[in-house]
Structure 1
Amino acid sequence: GPGGLTRERAQMEVRDVHYSHYGRMCPIETPEGPNIGLINSLSSYARVNEFGFIETPYRKVDLDTNSITDQIDYLTADEEDSYVVAQANSRLDENGRFLDDEVVCRFRGNNTVMAKEKMDYMDVSPKQVVSAATACIPFLENDDSNRALMGANMQPFLENDDSNRALMGANMQ
């Protein structure tokens, strides 16, 4: 609106990725050029709640048994700040309990390692950080960030028929 942010006046602080974007806004898929960082895409599992806040899903940890439950809670960024969230690739046993005594997790935007008893939630998927288009990039974790940006902006087409199945995919098809 009038007097608001323009792409000519937008500084780096506005364009940069903030920790509260985790699982809500894709850190990779943004246009190249003057709009970089100003136009963003929702992450794969993000949704907008009835108040207009972006939420991302987490698996609830049962604090009595220290095991992951099937309960999925959608949290806003300010709600997430109150909880310790384990990564989606944390090792679990067949009962959903953490195998390692210390777990890599996030708390208030900081990546850290804490005792498994401190976990409140767990990410639902490693793909929840990125958009659907970005998740289709094979071996994304090994890509240079500029290359990933270009790949995400190519908007890969997803086939509907199974007659010519690909031999390799990115697990989002």
Structure 2
Amino acid sequence: NSPFIGLIGSLCIYARVNELGFIETPYFKVTDGKITDEIFYLSADEEDKYKIAQINIKIDKDNKISQDDVPCRFRGDIIECLPDEIDFIDVSPKQIASISASLIPFLEHDDANRALMGTNMQRQSVPLIKPEVPLVGTGMENKVAVDSGAVLISQYDGLVKEVSADKIIIENTDNIQKEYILKKFVRSNQGTCINQIPLVEEGMIVKKGDVLADGPLTSEGRLSLGRNILIAYMPWEGYNYEDAILVSEKLVREDNFTSIHISEQECDARDTKLGPEE
């Protein structure tokens, strides 16, 4: 990582930019110790005026805060409040993290610098030809894949009538057929390969919002940046000293980490007095 690490900021989950250009984040309103369904978006200077609790406190079935001393944020400090003194509460425990950070399992156990490096390095991953769903995830993998636009999404309920490498035909309940064209080996702006692979089969019933085809960096409709491989922490004759890594021939032979890159080359052929260039 360069000395500029950390200068690139990302919006946290659920955050938005208001019409004045300030970042806002949502909170549930708390009235007399009970969490209501009202959602308020507050900017940094606005939330400074209120006592705000975290969502992972004890709450009973009636949405009332059931613990006596509740840690709250107030004017930049952490204080303890009674349930009746709380003004707002977070909408989700993950709203303090960005999309990239929310994809790191057990984030709270990581050193802050390493977590920062992890969020940055996820952006640098290239699409593999054999991506694999991670064995350990955070639950955000499907949402990120769908919202990224990389996967193909069904626009309505229907029946899969035809599936091929480059198109999928869905017939809806009104017997109207919709043809979805898949992207095949298209060059991205970064020179990587965009290739969509069908997930559905002919005769399957699909619902609106279902993933029809995987895209780059996805597998089974979920974000898949790498592979699940067997690793060992052990010395190996000095070849893995400090940050060096040894990989097996099998890993290379089976194309576990192989990716396709597409470059565009131009060549000019001119007419000369002796004829066209060859």
For the criterion TM > 0.5, the same-fold answer is yes
Aligned residue among 82, 98, 102 for 2:69: 102
CA contact 2:6–2:116 (8 Å) conserved in 1: no
- Map 1:1-173 to 2 at 5 A: 32-63=1-32, 66-155=33-122, 166-173=134-141
* Cα distance in 2 between the residues matched to 1:142 and 1:41: 21
Matched pairs, number: 135
Q: Is the 8 A contact 2:27 2:90 kept in 1?
A: yes
Query: Highest CA radius of gyration, 1 or 2?
Result: 2
1:161 corresponds to: none
CA distance in 2: counterparts of 1:127 and 1:166, whole angstroms: 20
Distance 1:98 1:132 in 2: 29
More helix by share: 1
Measured after TM superposition, the shift of residue 68 of structure 1 is 0.3
In the alignment, structure 2 segments of 5+ residues that lack a partner are 126-131, 142-278
Give the 4+ runs in structure 1 shifted more than 6 A. Answer: none
Q: Distance in 2 between matches of 1:112 and 1:171?
A: 31
Which AA in structure 1 matches 2:28?
R
- Match for residue 193 of structure 2? none
Match of 1:19 in 2: none
2:117 partner amino acid: M
Percent identity over the alignment is 54
Task: Classify the secondary structure of the residue corresponding to 2:101.
Answer: helix
The one-letter code of the counterpart of 1:131 is S
Give, in angstroms, the shift of residue 172 of structure 1. 1.3
Name the aligned partner's letter for residue 18 of structure 2: N
- More strand by percentage: 2
- Deviation sequence 1:38-63 (CA, Å, 0-9, x none): 33111111100011110001011123
* Structure 1 residue identity aligned to 2:22: F
Structure 1 gaps, min length 5: 1-31, 158-163
Cα deviation, 1:96-154, whole Å, max 9, x if unaligned, reads 11111110110011112111111000011111111011010000000112221121112
- Scaled by the length of structure 2, the TM-score of the pair is 0.46
Opposite residue 58 of structure 1, the aligned amino acid is: Y
